[in-house]
Amino acid sequence: MKQKLFAISLAALLLLAGCGGGNLASKGEGMNNAPASSAPSASAPSGPSGEWNGTDYWDMDMSGGSAEAPSMPEPDMPQESAPGASIYQRPDAKLIRRAELSIQTEQFDESREALNKLVDDCGGYFEVASVHGGSYRDAYARRNGEYTVRVPAEKYNQFLSGTGDLGYVTSKDESSEDVGERYYDTESRLKTQRTKQERLLALLEKAETMEDIISLENALSDVEYQIEQYSSELNRYDGLISFSTFTVRLYEVKRVNQEVGETAPLGQRMAAGFQASVRNLSQGCQDFLIWASYNVFLLAVLAAVAAAAVVVGKRELKKLRKEDKKEPEEK
């Protein structure tokens, strides 16, 4: 009789484990509504008569007596917040906050050092840091850096306001995502799988046949895989929630570009346009001088070829003129 009850309990538990990761709202339906005339399963041991009597696993204890179905652990549902409360102040909110900034600076090295200090002051770290560009030959080949910074969520506003000291902020984009529903759902699924794991381990300790042991170990393997997946997902959420992500693009410029808007007075816009023209002319002359200094030998060769061409051209022109004078005299 004891083996029969154990076999029935094992079969029902295997059916339960096969539904790993199911919705928490239906956690008890499949167990309490098993049909009384179900066909015997290949992996479920049958009683001496060879029939599966449909007895629910939760209605049987290990000593053969009947017991009430144990309640599954209730998920830690978020507490309701006061109406009108900001999402940033809700205790149940699971926010992933991100921001992207583009900054112009005339002092690239100083701005980079200031960014390092700001990250340290906020207790953050650089996830990615790269610098490109820079050339003595090209006056426009300025350096630019791209940084991915992770900062504790509670330091979000402090870091964001501190980026204004790095240079002239040309663009700023902020975004936030509340993943609370997915987070709590994953957390509930993880608790359900751990409960299944505990009960499978309890059955494994009392298993007597090799067939039962193998079946239980297979079910445990599936449950442990689900636990690993849900745990990994929760860890990923925790990392994104506890540390906000900033993408900072730092651009080195010769002059910070603070253009006059279209709504400015006509005189101010004309003055800005004239100043821009003067700067462009000056910059063009500088670029030409820099290019010439790097190509002085090429310019010398070109000058020599041009001078030789002029000399040869003059000689040929003189010959033609002499021939033109001789032709009338011969006639």
Convert the pLDDT of each residue in 182-204 to its tens digit. 999 999 999 999 999 999 999 99
Asked if 248 and 128 touch (Cβ cutoff 8 Å), the reply is no
Contacts by 215-220 with C-beta closer than 8 Å and gap 24+? 215/10, 215/14, 215/43, 216/10, 216/14, 219/13, 219/14, 219/17, 219/18
Q: Which of 15, 76, 20 is nearest to 192 (CA)?
A: 20
**CA–CA separation, 117 and 108 (whole Å):** 14
Q: Which of 5, 3, 6, 20 is nearest to 218 (CA)?
A: 20
- Alpha helix locations (H) across 78-209? 108-121, 156-162, 180-206
pLDDT tens-digit map of 137-171: 555 568 899 999 999 999 999 999 999 999 999 99
Query: What residues does each domain of the chain span?
Result: 1-72, 92-258, 268-326
**CA–CA separation, 213 and 232 (whole Å):** 28
**CA–CA separation, 270 and 276 (whole Å):** 10
DSSP helix, strand, coil percent of the chain (3-state; round to 5)? 55, 15, 30
pLDDT tens-digit map of 244-266: 999 999 999 887 766 666 677 87
**Distance, C-alpha 101 to centroid of its chain:** 16
What is the helix (H) or strand (E) element at residue 154, kind and residue range?
none
Beta strands in the chain (DSSP E): 95-105, 125-133, 143-152, 168-178, 243-252
pLDDT of residue 173: 95
**CA–CA separation, 26 and 19 (whole Å):** 11
Bridge partners of residue 133, in order along the sequence? 143
Q: Which of 30, 33, 64, 32 is nearest to 47 (CA)?
A: 64
Whose tokens are 């381990």? That residue is 201
38 pLDDT above the threshold of 80: no
Weakest mean pLDDT among 9-13, 50-54, 199-203, 238-242: 50-54
Weakest mean pLDDT among 50-54, 126-130, 218-222, 267-271: 50-54
Give me 13's structure tokens. Answer: 């538990």
pLDDT of residue 169: 92
